[in-house]
Amino acid sequence: MKLIVTGGAGFIGGNFVHYLLNKHKDYEVICLDKLTYAGNLESLKSVMSNQNFKFIRGDITDRDTIFSVFTQERPNIVVNFAAESHVDRSIEDPSIFLQTNVIGTQVLLDACRKHRIDRFHQVSTDEVYGDLPLDRPDLFFTEETPIHTSSPYSASKAAADLLVQAYHRTYGLPITISRCSNNYGPYHFPEKLIPLMIANALNDKPLPVYGKGENIRDWLYVEDHCSAIDLILHKGTVGEIYNIGGHNERTNLEVVQTIIRELGKGKIQFVKDRAGHDLRYAINPNKIHKELNWLPATNFDEGIKKTIQWYLDNRFWWESIISGEYQNYYEKMYGNR
Ligand code: NAD
Ligand code: DAU
């Protein structure tokens, strides 16, 4: 079995590469990644010498490169994590989000069609469903919830999902799609809520909470996302969409206060809200539970402790990121907020 994992030098893709190589010792895994600001080969250092692993630097929007990689490698399965993934960046400049998330997905679908791939799996997000009101805790996203996006990021991911479904219906391409809630864990780029707050607290910088901090996210430990995708690849039904989430809802304020409590330091600063800020995400994971017997193994209280410990043990990983170009990003996004 040979898999191409696109975006495997990023947060979730990197964790998935490690997961696959640990779980399926006989699988060949190829990570194909452009190495944007979010891609980091440090995250793959420990598998670089693994005989079953290969890294290829490539851009999923570059048709020639993608087609020649497919011709050379002849993969059975493609799992597409490659994306521009940060909502705030999409609000600043949507263009690259459309290029990578929509056109890049189309290029991969065309290559999969040509090479009669066994499975194309699209890693999507709960953000395609829009948001839920804060005063209706009884409501959850199911696979039937209509697509209703808020940010340029979520719109680009929804467009990609529709294309993936179109390639299944029109060309019979064997696809699956998963829509997951907010992930956290090792190798999470420090522009996202949890690693940003950990890094700032450790560096005695203010913790910038948007608006009143009352928005709710449904947190999933990244390894549980990996196990769900692995199950979908092996046991999922072609053409189906699976929601992935673990009923771990927290307000942003609760998340930040937990980090402060665990670290014993950190000072909150309320800052201007995100434009179009989604209020609440909450997944109903019944389908993947009932059909594939998937359940998350790690609850939030346990996962946040493990995550904080990882950032304490791996300071070099995130300190080398925040000492570079990241400083310009931080100044631009938070300087006058
Ligand atoms: P990330 O930003 O950490 O990593 C993205 C990776 O894709 C990087 O390694 C980057 O170099 C690579 N990449 C970007 N453009 C590329 C291109 N044109 N060609 C090849 N590689 C390219 O993202 P993440 O948080 O790991 O998210 C991975 C996927 O999971 C995304 O598709 C995202 O939409 C989805 N997702 C993320 C979350 C989350 O909480 N982070 C939740 C649900 C779904
Ligand atoms: O739900 C899945 C999505 O989760 C993925 O599709 C995205 O790729 C991923 O980035 C994530 O999107 P969010 O916008 O929810 O994640 P982020 O970490 O950017 O923000 C989480 C919440 O925290 C959100 O309500 C905004 C808030 N926030 C974020 C940052 C970076 C703050 O209050 N302060 C901050 O500095």
| CATH numbers and ranges of domains, the chain | 2-188+220-246+280-299 (3.40.50.720)
Does residue 62 surpass a pLDDT of 90?
Answer: yes
Q: In whole angstroms, what is the distance from residue 39 CA to residue 258 CA?
A: 28
- Indicate whether 324 pLDDT > 90: no
Does ligand 1 have an atom closer than 6 angstroms to the CB of 83? yes
User: Computed over its alpha carbons, how large is the radius of gyration of the chain?
Assistant: 19
Cα distances (angstroms) measured from residue 112 to each of 3, 66, 74, 115, 123: 12, 10, 10, 5, 16
CA-nearest residue for atom 11, ligand 2, is 182
pLDDT digits (tens, 9 = 90+) for 277-319: 999 999 999 999 999 999 999 999 999 999 999 999 999 999 9
Active-site choice (33, 84, 127, 224):
127
Q: Quickly list H helices, the chain.
A: 11-23, 63-73, 87-92, 95-97, 105-114, 152-171, 193-202, 222-235, 252-263, 286-292, 300-313, 315-322, 326-334
On the question of pLDDT at 224 being above 90, the answer is: yes
Do residues 8 and 78 touch, judged by C-beta distance below 8 A? no
Rounded CA separation 143/253 (Å)? 28
Closest CA to 242 of 282, 280, 283: 283
Q: Which of 177, 182, 207 to probe ligand 2 with, by most ligand atoms within 8 A of CB?
A: 182
Query: What atom of ligand 1 comes closest to residue 37's alpha carbon?
Result: 11
Residue 336: pLDDT above 90?
A: no
In this predicted structure, the answer to whether residue 246 has a pLDDT above a threshold of 90 is: no
Predicted local confidence at residue 34, as pLDDT:
98
pLDDT at 3 (0 to 100): 98
- The residues lining ligand 2, judged by C-beta closer than 6 Å to any ligand atom, are 85-87, 125-127, 181-182, 192-193, 196, 208-210, 215, 217, 252, 274, 281
CB distance 33 to ligand 1 below 6 Å:
yes
Separation of alpha carbons 82 and 100, rounded Å: 8
Q: What percent of the chain has pLDDT over 70?
A: 100
If pLDDT is split at 50, 70 and 90, which confidence band does 50 have? very high
What is the model's pLDDT at position 84? 98
Find out whether the beta carbon of 245 lies less than 6 Å from any atom of ligand 1. Answer: no
Work out the average pLDDT over 1-23: 98
Name the closest-CA residue to atom 21, ligand 2.
193
Please state, for a pLDDT cut of 90, what percent of the chain lies above it.
Answer: 98
Q: Answer yes or no: is the C-beta of 157 below 6 A from any ligand 1 atom.
A: yes
- Nearest-atom index, ligand 2, CA of 193: 18
What are the CA-CA distances from residue 239 to residues 75, 81, 172, 266 (Å)? 19, 18, 9, 46
The pLDDT, as a whole number, for residue 76 is: 98
pLDDT by residue (tens digit) across 120-178?
A: 999 999 999 999 999 999 999 999 999 999 999 999 999 999 999 999 999 999 999 99
Q: Ligand 1 atom 12: the closest Cα is on which residue?
A: 7
82 CB under 6 A from ligand 1? yes
Q: Is residue 7 in contact with ligand 1, taking CB distance under 6 Å?
A: yes
Return the pLDDT at 176: 99
Helices (H) and strands (E) in the chain, counts: 13, 13
Between CA 188 and CA 322 the distance in angstroms is 12
Which ligand approaches the C-alpha of residue 185 most closely? 1
Q: What is the mean pLDDT of the chain?
A: 97
Give how far Cα 319 sits from Cα of 203, 260, 311, 323, 325, Å: 10, 19, 10, 6, 12
* Whole-structure pTM value: 0.98
User: Which residues make Cβ contacts (< 8 Å) with residue 38, sequence separation at least 6?
Assistant: 10, 11, 84, 85, 86, 189
